[in-house]
Chains A and B, each alone.
Chain A
Amino acid sequence: MSSEMLEPGMAEIFSLYHPPGDVYDELLDDESQPRPHWRRFAESLSDEGRVDLLDRWQTANRLLRENGVTHSVVGQDQEGLRPWELDLLPVVFDQREWESIDRGVRQRARLVAAVTADLYGEQTLLRGSLPPRVLFRHPEYQRAYFDLPKSQTPLALFGCELARSESGQWWVMADRSSAPAGISYAVENRIVISKTLPQILHRCQIQRLAPFFILLQESLKQLARRRRSNPSIVLLSGGPNHPYYFEDVFLARYLGYPLVEIEDLAVRKNRVWIKTLEGLVPVDVILWRSPDRNIDPLELGGFSPDGVAGLLQVLRNKNVVVANGFQYSLLDAPVFMPFLPAICRELLGEELILPSIATWWCGQREPLEFVLERFDELVIKPAFGRSGSEEYIVSELADERREALHARIMADPENFVAQEKIKRSSAPCWVQNELRVGHLALRTFAVGRGSEFETMPGGLVRVGLSTAPMPLSISAGAFSKDVWVCAEEPVPPVSLLARAGGPTRLARVNLRLPSRAADNLFWLGRYLERLEFAGRHIRKVTERLMSESAAQPVQDVLPLIACLAEQGLIEESWGVREFLPARDELELVWPRIVAQRSDPQRFGSLRDKVYRLASTVRDRLSDDLWRAFTAIGARDFPLRSGRDLDLSELSQSIERLLLHISSITGQVFDGLVDGPTRWFLLIGKHVERAQQLTGTLSHFLNQQADADVLSLVTLLDVCNSLLTYRSRYRSQFSLLPAIDLVVTDGGNPRSMRHQFEQLRSLLGALPRRKGSRGLSPEERIVEEALVELRTILPDPDADVEWDDYRTQLTDFLARCEDRTGRITDELSAAYFIHTGKVRLIDQNIPQER
């Protein structure tokens, strides 16, 4: 179509939009005229102008990156993470059209809840509309969930994946009732849009998303009958190794619930508890977002001890509520779709409002024959898989694979369904300053409210740039869009924060830190410090290699290389002088050796480790602090570009890393309130610094030639104390004052003494062990170290000879080697492990002959 056909005032950019004629277009009607509900948006947009749009698109996606909005698996490596991308052009719905989706989704949610309840209870459907083998062959059908009280296992959140076909009809592509994904991305998109296009959003009178979440909060609160006034509600996540962990973190923060993982929970006295620093804290409602199947090793374990032993019994005794529990995973499988219209009539006495995409279950003869006849036109999926896990577009398969798939179906037809392909509707997308046609997958959500549901006035659109079937995973598609449902009247502001009624009492320190989080914070502190120390060492070695000609020896940095090699941060064999490459070769291989990620201990892998640990405590970190960690974990960090760097690039890269680390450290000191998060981060940091100092000093004392000024300068530099030394002693370099500065001078934050003094006060702040008095074992280790440091140098004026100092220091360092390990063990036993490991006891095998 041409621009002349657009009404005056329409955005100039839409004149460039040419949708294909064979699909339904969201923006343009059959006469290529904009649909009425898009006009206000188009007008507002044309006022903003085109150049501006590119700028705002960049801003929006920078915001998303900085907020660490990512999708896909964190896994072993960050490679699996992709940034979430947002198109500024929303998909606009008028209220009337949305109402039909709204009614359909609400009914669908009621239906899913009713079917699940029936199949885990009366099972009337098995005598009616559902072939029993659909249930009996379903791997997610767990007999242990049979007859769990319905009041304790509600469906709180429901997700529905939709697509619009050529005729304009909406079809349900998938139902999502166990941990519906996409909900946080929908909110995050809206937040970013409201920061980038605030005026347009306002002018278009877009319905807000916040009321949906207020409903969810209220609904979960209602579920906790036991403690209605102040129930304890937690969000259970599958943890950082699961695909949508970002969503769980976001949702927990947005709703104001603690984020827990399954290891944080335990059953005692017929209730569920969280293991925290101050002991066990009871839980009333769990919003279940973990996809793990092993939820109770007592009843479902098989051979795995994972899960919360006794949880099902607590549910049966009605002492906890699990919302969106494991039993809802049944209906995520596509095998139910062909039967839903009849089931809906049977269970609800209603006609199904939103039809499912045409689906054939191969477990019945006639559908199977039909599928085989039209094989090449269909999409084949495992019948019982959570739809989206695996799918084949038959027409795209090579002959060999097509035959193999055919054989798999024939070997076990019940295990497969076939679905029709659908040509999704199109909408304009603004991609890299160019208007393009995108094809839409819409996901929206419903919240349970008693036996009714309410639909989110909005959702998430994923965009494919072709009409090819789009996988159901949230991570599929080129980018995403916000969904705007226009209201007929101006929309009042709502927020989840400003609610009536102030806090009841002041709370200064919150000890309800899950033990697992304390553990991760401690190690985050340690690895962050290790990253910094190693970074300083590497920077120093690199600088020296750059500043000297290839013929000049660099004796002074050999202790640093030994220290790195000893910890496996670089090639271990380099710790032995004979295996170290010759000076000229060293210069060539050094950047590659530093970038190595072959081993998880390597310096190159350390950044990933820090990022991963930070992501496990994401809910404890401010957005700013998290942004700093995101920068450390960024994929485009030069050190991991995959190509070999030269020395100066390496040096710049390390410089940048150290800058990010100091920004994090600054925010930890300056921004974190006094409480367990800060304590454990800093305890980890000081323990690690003491350990790193011990290593560096030991290597230095082993290798230093007397009065070698260069070696002293190097040592002071990596300990970040060179400036202080120069200001005190100018250029007079000698051993005693230099070593005193990094060992016995408590005023230097980089000194050994300072680490132990800090540990003394931090450990003192931790909650006491039950029934214990006096110093804790880890405090005693710290005191021991401080006494020894005083013996080395009683006071600054003491008349001490270097030889005596050196002898005592060598002994001290030798003892320090296991001190840091012992402190770690003691902390771990007292604060991180809370309850022991769960073991399955020997099974009682019947053996009668």
Chain B
Amino acid sequence: MLYQVSHLTRYVSETKVSIGMNQMHLSPRTTAWQTCLEHEILTTPGPSVRDIRGDAFGNTVGYFFFESGYQSLEIRALSRVEVLPRPRLDPESSPAWESIVASVERERSGEWLRAMEMTVPSPHVDWTGSELADYARESFSPGKPVVAGLAALLDRFHDDFEFDAESTTVSTTVTEVFELRKGVCQDFAHAFIAMLRSIGLPARYVSGYLRTHAPEGKPRLRGADASHAWVALYAGELGWIELDPTNRCFISQDHITTAWGRDYSDVNPVCGIVIGSGLHSLHVEVDVDEITESGDVPLVP
């Protein structure tokens, strides 16, 4: 599947900002199942300093400093990405979940070490004092194959948690989300990760985009999409198994990955600081278009 993604972020301030600095995780990763073919970040005004580097998780991070200031800032990330289908998982033949827990405690090589980092609490995923582990254990009964456990938890989670953009903020904790049983994709990803980590399973936060489908018989709304977040669990030989608690599915070709980390704080798509101005308005537009052979769309409109 070939996609073109446009991610626009626009800040408008009441008076001119004298200096602005931004850190961005907007570049799609290239992995075994995904290739970033083209990618560009364009800003208006142009940056006075611009730097692209890799972070501790291998994500691409952009630093854009605007030292001449601005009244409004537009950041447009344009990418062309090819996404391959993932191998089908057979839930019942996967290893028992406890064997993953045992391996991640013991193994020190390559990916296991990275996975171990994903078993400990992180800034947005701290389950101390909550009953998240009990909730998770209902699906991960002793000896349960790990993928079957995941599928069971995914179903229960989707039934129990309600999408509600009004109920949480960026500072809502996983424990609160667990009590409210409400939230947005970010909250769901954090809560789901906390459940897995609380029983010793390695789970990370994945940030990216989701292709959406227009309602039957209507044209798809432009710019109606947003960035998205989901979860990946490390299962040894099966690699990182990705699933989307918000949409109750294992990931195949509808998700485009930009970055991963312990939680949202590691991969915030666009964050930054400004000096010398009052209120801001923020506007975000994301468009994910499938490119068909016949109707090729130019990368830069």
Same complex:
yes
Across the interface, do B280 and A841 meet the contact criterion of CB distance under 8 Å? yes
Residues of B within 8 A of A123 (CB): 113
Residues of A within 8 A of B67 (CB): 268-269
Q: Tell yes or no: B123 within 8 A of A by CB.
A: yes
Q: Tell yes or no: B109 within 8 A of A by CB.
A: yes
- Cβ distance A159 to chain B, nearest Cβ, rounded Å: 28
Stretch at the interface among A216-224, A281-289, A303-311: A303-311
Across the interface, do B18 and A838 meet the contact criterion of CB distance under 8 Å? no
Residues of B within 8 A of A144 (CB): 55-56
Cα of A783 to Cα of B21 in the assembled complex, Å: 42
Q: Tell yes or no: B120 within 8 A of A by CB.
A: yes
- With known contacts A317-B51, A845-B186, A127–B113 Cβ distance under 8 A: yes
Across the interface, do A842 and B55 meet the contact criterion of CB distance under 8 Å? no
Across the interface, do A841 and B272 meet the contact criterion of CB distance under 8 Å? yes
- Which B243-294 residues have a C-beta within 8 angstroms of A? 246-247, 261, 264-266, 268-277, 280, 282, 284, 286
Which of A136, A137, A844, A849 has the largest count of B CB atoms less than 10 A from its CB? A844
Residues of B within 8 A of A836 (CB): 18, 275-277
Q: Tell yes or no: B117 within 8 A of A by CB.
A: yes
- With known contacts A836-B275, A841-B273, A846–B108 Cβ distance under 8 A: no
Q: Tell yes or no: A508 within 8 A of B by CB.
A: no
Cα of A310 to Cα of B63 in the assembled complex, Å: 9
- With known contacts A299-B23, A844-B269, A848-B210, A313–B275 Cβ distance under 8 A: no
Residues of B within 8 A of A840 (CB): 271-273
Q: Tell yes or no: B171 within 8 A of A by CB.
A: yes
- Cβ distance A280 to chain B, nearest Cβ, rounded Å: 12
Q: Tell yes or no: B213 within 8 A of A by CB.
A: no
Residues of A within 8 A of B271 (CB): 298, 840-841, 843-844
Q: Tell yes or no: A511 within 8 A of B by CB.
A: no
Which of B19, B264, B269, B282 has the largest count of A CB atoms less than 10 A from its CB? B19
Interface range for A: 35 or more
Residues of B within 8 A of A839 (CB): 273-275, 277
- With known contacts A298-B272, A299-B23, A836-B18, A845–B170 Cβ distance under 8 A: yes
Q: Tell yes or no: B218 within 8 A of A by CB.
A: no
Partner of A301, one of B120, B273, B276: B273
- Which A126-167 residues have a C-beta within 8 angstroms of B? 126-127, 132-133, 136-137, 143-144, 146-147
Residues of B within 8 A of A303 (CB): 171
Q: Tell yes or no: A316 within 8 A of B by CB.
A: yes
Q: Tell yes or no: B199 within 8 A of A by CB.
A: no
Across the interface, do B55 and A143 meet the contact criterion of CB distance under 8 Å? yes
Residues of A within 8 A of B181 (CB): none
Residues of A within 8 A of B284 (CB): 844
- Which A793-849 residues have a C-beta within 8 angstroms of B? 835-849
Partner of A846, one of B56, B109, B184, B274: B184
Across the interface, do A132 and B51 meet the contact criterion of CB distance under 8 Å? no
- With known contacts A136-B120, A298-B21, A841-B271, A846–B226 Cβ distance under 8 A: yes
Across the interface, do B56 and A313 meet the contact criterion of CB distance under 8 Å? no
Q: Tell yes or no: A302 within 8 A of B by CB.
A: yes
- Per-position 1/0 for A410-437, Cβ under 8 A of B: 0010000000000000000000000000
Partner of A310, one of B65, B113, B269: B65
- Per-position 1/0 for B167-211, Cβ under 8 A of A: 000110000000000001110000000000000000000010110
Residues of B within 8 A of A317 (CB): 51
Partner of B56, one of A147, A837, A842: A147
Across the interface, do B65 and A302 meet the contact criterion of CB distance under 8 Å? no
- Per-position 1/0 for B1-37, Cβ under 8 A of A: 0000000010100000011111100000000000000
- Cβ distance A609 to chain B, nearest Cβ, rounded Å: 29
- With known contacts A127-B113, A843-B170, A849-B246, A837–B275 Cβ distance under 8 A: yes
Cα of A136 to Cα of B117 in the assembled complex, Å: 6
Cα of A606 to Cα of B2 in the assembled complex, Å: 70
Across the interface, do A848 and B185 meet the contact criterion of CB distance under 8 Å? yes
Across the interface, do B23 and A133 meet the contact criterion of CB distance under 8 Å? no
Residues of A within 8 A of B65 (CB): 267, 310, 313
Q: Tell yes or no: B49 within 8 A of A by CB.
A: yes
CB closest chain-B residue, reference A128: B108
Across the interface, do A126 and B55 meet the contact criterion of CB distance under 8 Å? no
Partner of A848, one of B9, B53, B128, B225: B225
Cα of A133 to Cα of B202 in the assembled complex, Å: 13
CB closest chain-A residue, reference B269: A844
Across the interface, do B184 and A133 meet the contact criterion of CB distance under 8 Å? no
Cα of A502 to Cα of B66 in the assembled complex, Å: 42
- With known contacts A843-B268, A847-B185, A305–B171 Cβ distance under 8 A: no
Partner of A298, one of B184, B246, B273, B282: B273
- With known contacts A844-B284, A848-B246, A126–B273 Cβ distance under 8 A: no
Q: Tell yes or no: B80 within 8 A of A by CB.
A: no
- Which B122-179 residues have a C-beta within 8 angstroms of A? 123, 128, 163, 165, 170-171
CB closest chain-A residue, reference B212: A848
Across the interface, do B273 and A143 meet the contact criterion of CB distance under 8 Å? no
Q: Tell yes or no: B116 within 8 A of A by CB.
A: yes
Cα of A146 to Cα of B207 in the assembled complex, Å: 21
Residues of B within 8 A of A127 (CB): 108-109, 113
- Cβ distance A832 to chain B, nearest Cβ, rounded Å: 15
Cα of A849 to Cα of B224 in the assembled complex, Å: 11
Across the interface, do B163 and A849 meet the contact criterion of CB distance under 8 Å? yes
- Which A378-417 residues have a C-beta within 8 angstroms of B? 412
Across the interface, do A136 and B116 meet the contact criterion of CB distance under 8 Å? yes
- Which B101-118 residues have a C-beta within 8 angstroms of A? 108-109, 113, 116-117
- Cβ distance B261 to chain A, nearest Cβ, rounded Å: 8
Residues of A within 8 A of B20 (CB): 841
CB closest chain-B residue, reference A848: B228
Which of B228, B247, B272, B286 has the largest count of A CB atoms less than 10 A from its CB? B272
Q: Tell yes or no: B229 within 8 A of A by CB.
A: yes
Q: Tell yes or no: A116 within 8 A of B by CB.
A: no
- Cβ distance A756 to chain B, nearest Cβ, rounded Å: 33
- With contacts A137-B121, A843-B268, A849-B165 known, what are 12 further pairs, Cβ within 8 A? A127-B109, A146-B56, A298-B21, A302-B265, A836-B18, A836-B276, A838-B273, A838-B275, A841-B273, A844-B269, A845-B184, A849-B163
Query: 8 closest Cβ contacts across the A-B interface?
Result: A836-B276, A146-B56, A848-B228, A143-B56, A846-B227, A842-B282, A848-B226, A127-B108
- Please list 7 pairs of residues, one from A and one from B, whose beta carbons are closer than 8 Å in the complex, sorted by A's number: A143-B57, A303-B171, A309-B21, A309-B275, A412-B128, A841-B20, A844-B9
